[in-house]
Homo-oligomer: A and B are copies of this chain.
Amino acid sequence: MPRARKKQPVPSATVPRLSQYLRQLQELQARGTSTISSRQLAEAVGTNPAQIRKDLSYFGEFGIRGVGYEVEHLINELKKCLGLDRAWDTIIIGAGKLGTALARYRGFGKQGFHLMAMFDTSKAVIGKNRGAGPVLSTSDLEKYIRRHHVDIAIVTTPAAVAQTIIDRAVAAGVPSVLNFAPIRAQAKKPAIVRQVDLSTELMTLSYYLKNR
């Protein structure tokens, strides 16, 4: 019996690139493209064909020699790789401007993220519709998480309360957090925290602007 090939670890830089390939392929599909070479895909995303072949090689053999990739097939395979072949139940904690902008972000539902509820502490906001039905009170967070299934908590609270909110969500059973608050948030394993850090982006831009 042949032994299953041992999986190579996927480099962390590969994963965001897969999402770029996926988005580009979806655009190409919307414009009617059904097959594409790795060279064409590389041009469209601004990389080189070898990079694309390497990135895809961690997940299997998707190309056909002399033809390239079937766009629809590769889209489906990339969605599987990225876990986008299912819907992730998502909540947003913090229904301010940023939370509301995210709730109304078009790409959200399109890629399989199912926004279930939003939470806030402000009486002026609770009960209002900010993009996902009436905003719930943050004091009901644990109760909600225990009763419903939540895969992802997006945190857009002020910095001062973000870590406490993340601790509460994770303790109640949320396995992953996307944090927008400008703190270096942490969570006990196996929970996953990813950080979107606007101030780091601005400072990094400043660095390159200065050293232009």
Q: Which residues of A contact B (CB under 8 A)?
A: 15-16, 18-20, 22-24, 45-46, 81-84, 88, 96-98, 100-102, 104-105, 107-108, 111-113, 151-152, 175-176, 178, 182, 184, 186, 190, 192, 194, 196-212
Instruction: Enumerate chain B residues within 8 angstroms of A20, measured Cβ to Cβ.
Output: 184, 200
| List of 5 A-B pairs having minimum Cβ-Cβ separation, nearest first | A83-B210, A97-B101, A19-B203, A98-B101, A83-B206
7 more CB-based (< 8 A) A-B contacts, given A152-B202, A178-B201 = A18-B207, A45-B184, A97-B98, A97-B104, A101-B101, A111-B199, A111-B203
Cβ contact within 8 Å between A210 and B82: yes
Cβ contact within 8 Å between A209 and B151: yes
Instruction: Enumerate chain B residues within 8 angstroms of A82, measured Cβ to Cβ.
Output: 203, 206-207, 210
Cβ contact within 8 Å between A176 and B19: no
Given contacts A46-B184, A175-B212, A186-B46, contact A194 B198 (CB under 8 A): no
Question: Taking CB as reference atom, which chain B residue is nearest A206?
Answer: B83
Question: Taking CB as reference atom, which chain B residue is nearest A130?
Answer: B97
Please tell me which one of the listed residues B45, B88, B107 contacts residue A209 in the complex, with CB atoms under 8 A apart: B88
Q: For the complex, would chain A's binding face be called helix, strand, loop or mixed by DSSP majority? A: helix
Cβ contact within 8 Å between A182 and B113: no
Question: Taking CB as reference atom, which chain B residue is nearest A83?
Answer: B210
Cβ contact within 8 Å between A152 and B196: no
Instruction: Enumerate chain B residues within 8 angstroms of A184, measured Cβ to Cβ.
Output: 20, 24, 45-46
Minimal beta-carbon separation of A183 from chain B (angstroms): 9
Please tell me which one of the listed residues B45, B100, B206 contacts residue A88 in the complex, with CB atoms under 8 A apart: B206
Cβ contact within 8 Å between A194 and B204: yes
Question: Taking CB as reference atom, which chain B residue is nearest A176?
Answer: B209
Complex alpha-carbon distance, A84 and B210, angstroms = 9
29 contacts between A and B (CB under 8 A): A15-B207, A16-B204, A18-B203, A19-B199, A20-B184, A22-B203, A24-B184, A46-B184, A46-B186, A82-B203, A82-B210, A84-B206, A88-B206, A88-B209, A97-B101, A98-B98, A100-B101, A101-B101, A107-B182, A107-B199, A108-B202, A111-B203, A152-B202, A175-B209, A176-B209, A178-B205, A192-B209, A192-B212, A196-B201
